[in-house]
Amino acid sequence: MSAAIIDGKRISSEVKEELASEVAALKEREIVPGLAVVLVGENPASKVYVANKEKACAELGINSVKHELPAPTLEDELLSLVERLNASPDIDGVLVQLPLPDHIDEKRVLEAIDPDKDVDGFHPINVGRLVVGERGFRPATPSGIIELLNRSGVELKGKEAVVVGRSNIVGKPVALMLLEKHATVTVCHSRTRDLAEVCRRAEVLVVAIGKARMITADMIRPGAVVIDVGVNRLENGKLAGDVDFDGAMGIASAITPVPGGVGPMTIAMLMVNTVEAAKRREKALVK
Catalytic residues: 53, 97, 120
CB of 153 to ligand NDP, least distance (A): 22
Cβ atoms of residues 204 and 183 within 8 Å: yes
Q: Which of 86, 88, 167, 216 binds ligand NDP (CB under 6 A)?
A: 167
Nearer to ligand NDP, 76 or 194 (CB): 194
Q: Which of 15, 57, 163, 262 binds ligand NDP (CB under 6 A)?
A: 262
CB of 214 to ligand NDP, least distance (A): 6
Window 48 to 77, contacts with ligand NDP (CB under 6 A): none
CB of 262 to ligand NDP, least distance (A): 4
Residue span binding ligand NDP (CB under 6 A) among the ranges 60-68, 117-125, 160-168, 274-282? 160-168
Cβ within 8 Å of residue 254, ≥6 positions away = 3, 4, 5, 6, 152, 154, 225, 226
The secondary element (H helix, E strand) that includes residue 232 is strand 232-233
User: Mask of contacts with ligand NDP, 176-215, x by CB under 6 A?
Assistant: ------------xxxxx--x------------xxxx----
Cβ within 8 Å of residue 136, ≥6 positions away = 115, 121, 125, 126, 128, 129, 130
Residue span binding ligand NDP (CB under 6 A) among the ranges 77-85, 123-131, 161-169, 197-205? 161-169
Q: Which of 9, 166, 200, 280 binds ligand NDP (CB under 6 A)?
A: 166
Q: Which of 33, 165, 173, 257 binds ligand NDP (CB under 6 A)?
A: 165
CB of 97 to ligand NDP, least distance (A): 13
User: Mask of contacts with ligand NDP, 217-246, x by CB under 6 A?
Assistant: ------------xxxx--------------
Window 125 to 154, contacts with ligand NDP (CB under 6 A): 141
CA-nearest of 44, 142, 151, 30 to 99 is 44
Residue 37's Cα: distance from chain center in Å? 16
Q: Which of 37, 164, 202, 248 binds ligand NDP (CB under 6 A)?
A: 164
End-to-end Cα, the chain, rounded Å: 56
Nearer to ligand NDP, 184 or 232 (CB): 232
CB of 228 to ligand NDP, least distance (A): 9
d(CA 70, CA 285) in angstroms, rounded, equals 36
Cβ atoms of residues 186 and 163 within 8 Å: yes
Helices of type H across 116-244: 124-132, 140-151, 171-180, 195-199
Cβ atoms of residues 92 and 277 within 8 Å: yes
CB of 235 to ligand NDP, least distance (A): 16
Is residue 169 a contact point for ligand NDP (CB under 6 A)?
A: yes
- DSSP secondary structure string for all residues of 186-223: EEE-TT-TTHHHHHTT-SEEEE---STT-B-GGGS-TT
The residue ranges that bind ligand NDP (CB under 6 A) are 141, 164-167, 169-171, 188-192, 195, 208-211, 229-232, 262-263, 266
